[in-house]
Structure 1
């Protein structure tokens, strides 16, 4: 009897092993055939079963990691992230061919579950097709009516600078972290256009919102986000930073809903004060129309997108600017000398001064190049088959434009890894902008806030240089290390800002 039981147990044991072995072989075989690509597809590093190349990339410096992979696999190469294929584009000519010459094929965004769970395909940044076209057209025309990119917004920027200067002066030249103040300063410009008012620097709810955005942009570019996008059915059920992102954005959306509710209580269609008022009017006018994409949920996501796009990148660039001026006091002094000669101390800067401040303009552009604030741009998606770099890329593949490979290309810049304003000056000392300078990306999905960002950077930076000197605390050297995320931000630092 014992021998029979023993034989049966042995049979069951081998049967379970066989089943497990068969299952493993089946999964691996299915994974291989499902993800097999033709020879015309861009090459890339060998992918592991199931997870692909998720662990090939160093997520603390993804942009550098992807640039190094291009040295081995070429300017157009592929990565398999879980079950999805990604093609990384490197160097200016490749990006130009893709984003400009074939812009219609790359006009959509990929389906990223983490982003999708937050935006539901709405808004300005990650929507596609007709929804995106409608929202972008409306946002640009509406904001332009409120001074977006026009001379009338100069007064708003310069007035906000006076609030910031007052805050900076309150520290009396002692070391402090300017992060939240400069975030608030820049955000107040888009707030004036969207909400119709600014927020005081001591507003706790608003400051918390600014902190959330910075943290969430870091998490969205982490391995947690990649795992979520690759295996959403699993990651939605697991705790981790990917859940924190969702909570942060839900709180941000609640903050925006309160603003919208207040607008609705005082809303007068004949007196449209800001973007929200105009959007509410558009909702009212579009009721009953089948293809209308204007509703309150879309308004919430659009405002969220305008917040992030209209504040985070510019404020991060200015934080880099303070560090670079402290690191290179001779460059800072040269900028201040040029401003003294052209503007002096008796009046505020104007955009009209830009043509007469070539060195200052060159320094701003070099800060943007070296700061490399959007190192991998935002991802695109092919809406049909495309030929790039001699390879065939099918429909539905995610495309990553590696802006880092352009901003630090030794074939485009004389000293790519050195801070050198001369990159933007000709032999006569006049400002020139090389074609390879594309910090706002290019093509159909070019950053919609580019004109405002350029104005903010020039007026804020020139005003700071006109009134302050930036230096590190005694015995402290500037650390130029970065915190990788969707935006590339400097690590937290303290600085001395002394009034001139």
Structure 2
């Protein structure tokens, strides 16, 4: 009897193992997975070995000779796309417009499935359209936006001047300037306390380093938050969420107290409150919680990506003196010493624009993009993807594709200039995404990067401190690519 039970148990275990490790029919190639945890353990160990998740995916692309890699992380089927035509299809096809409904994304939005970034369907469409309409009404992409950035540039120049040519890490002040531009559109004014803002930005940096786009162990096995809340960074995200809520709520209450119909277009919060009042007494997505989640999405999206790019631009200039000299020469030929840079100057400052594009291409702030959710069974690269499969996109593989760029590992702004010194070769530049889910803040980010870069170079020369070290080219991995801390000197020109 005991032997029979033992044999039955072994048969059951074998059957379970076969079912749990079986790949779906016509699923993309990739490493074999284990029951329960799937490829999570393998992906984590390989990421430690290669240094970054995108490097693991690139290695698997070569190993399995496929631009589409099929994984399983916990109970979630995950596919990674690593080629431009395939990623372009994901960006532009409606069946890939969904977002996964998993523990990590719900934790990111404080346990809800609200906001814009982590939602899909009617809620996503309604809220995205609302934010887009408001931004257009309030001058987004027009003179009002440019004047706001120019005003922040003046204050940024003053801040740099106070350093008196002492070594500084640009990240410590650039992020505040970038975020203040976004926050003025959101709340109608700058963030009053730089100390409070600096604390929130530090929490955001920790959050970015602690996770990758797959969500890590916490997404695979959420119960680990009870066993190791610190090690899994569960407590970090909770602290971040709580502090952001505490930061947003007084500002929202202040807007409610000051609300008037003549103030609807002043900022996003007033516009949202107006929608809430118009929908009183009926079922609506315009609620206090949704407002907090929308602000959270804008804060997270704008706080790091643009400031990290500015940081990489400063780093690239100090590492490439000839490039910096070309920038200075171009600016001096177009602008007088006290003339504020403007978006109308872009055609005449094409080398600066090329420098910004090359920085985004070379350093890839978002090396792995997503996650997307397959809304219905579909095919990708000839493989079958079941409904609800999670899809990640290796944007860095597009920007580092030797077949297209020729010398992708060389930092060369000229690749984006044609013989007439006009911007070209941008068809495979995907830093802001493509399609319906393209970055909402693209116009603001592009304008900020251009005006801040020109304004800084107009006034300063960037140098390595005496006896200082050249910045490390290798960046820090995480949800977003972050420069390794470095110091430079801003010398008055």
TM-score (norm 1): 0.92
**Structure 2 CA distance for aligned equivalents of residues 110 and 369 of structure 1:** 27
| 2:197 match | 206
For 1:40, which of 21, 26, 29 is the aligned residue? 26
For the aligned residue pairs, the C-alpha RMSD in angstroms reads 2.1
**Structure 2 CA distance for aligned equivalents of residues 472 and 28 of structure 1:** 62
| 2:479 match | 486
| 2:52 match | 61
**Structure 2 CA distance for aligned equivalents of residues 261 and 39 of structure 1:** 53
**Structure 2 CA distance for aligned equivalents of residues 27 and 304 of structure 1:** 45
Aligned partner of residue 96 in structure 2, secondary structure: coil
| 1:5 match | none
For 1:141, which of 133, 136, 156 is the aligned residue? 133
**Structure 2 CA distance for aligned equivalents of residues 317 and 175 of structure 1:** 20
CA contact (8 A) 2:471 2:484 kept: no
| 1:383 match | 375
Aligned partner of residue 400 in structure 1, secondary structure: strand
Output one character per residue of 1:263-313: Cα deviation in whole Å (capped at 9) or x when no partner.
1222223323311111111111112333x2110001001001111112311
**Structure 2 CA distance for aligned equivalents of residues 477 and 247 of structure 1:** 35
* 1:258-297 map, 5 Å: 258-272=250-264, 273-290=266-283, 292-297=284-289
Unaligned runs of 5+ in 2: none
TM-fit CA distance, 1:209: 1.2
Output one character per residue of 1:343-383: Cα deviation in whole Å (capped at 9) or x when no partner.
13131111111011121111110011112001112210100
| 1:49 match | 35
**Structure 1 CA distance for aligned equivalents of residues 412 and 227 of structure 2:** 49
TM-score (norm 2): 0.93
| 2:176 match | 184
TM-fit CA distance, 1:31: 4.8
Structure 1 residues 264 and 331: alpha-carbon distance in aligned structure 2, compared to 1, 3 A threshold: same
Output one character per residue of 1:34-93: Cα deviation in whole Å (capped at 9) or x when no partner.
452344111101223322211333064111211221122210111111121110001111
Larger Rg: 1
Tell me the number of residue pairs that the alignment of Structure 1 and Structure 2 aligns: 481
CA contact (8 A) 1:316 1:489 kept: yes
Structure 1 residues 133 and 428: alpha-carbon distance in aligned structure 2, compared to 1, 3 A threshold: same
* 1:308-457 map, 5 Å: 308-457=300-449
TM-fit CA distance, 1:175: 0.6
TM-fit CA distance, 1:386: 1.1
Which is worse superposed, 85-94 or 424-433?
Answer: 424-433
**Structure 2 CA distance for aligned equivalents of residues 491 and 29 of structure 1:** 49
Output one character per residue of 1:431-460: Cα deviation in whole Å (capped at 9) or x when no partner.
213311111111221111111111111111
**Structure 1 CA distance for aligned equivalents of residues 412 and 12 of structure 2:** 56
**Structure 1 CA distance for aligned equivalents of residues 154 and 451 of structure 2:** 12
**Structure 2 CA distance for aligned equivalents of residues 375 and 463 of structure 1:** 28
Structure 1 residues 49 and 185: alpha-carbon distance in aligned structure 2, compared to 1, 3 A threshold: same
Flag as ranges the 4+ runs of structure 1 deviating above 6 A.
Answer: 21-25
| 1:4 match | none
**Structure 1 CA distance for aligned equivalents of residues 11 and 243 of structure 2:** 45
- Is residue 2:157 matched to residue 1:171? no
CA contact (8 A) 2:471 2:487 kept: no
Structure 1 residues 25 and 437: alpha-carbon distance in aligned structure 2, compared to 1, 3 A threshold: farther
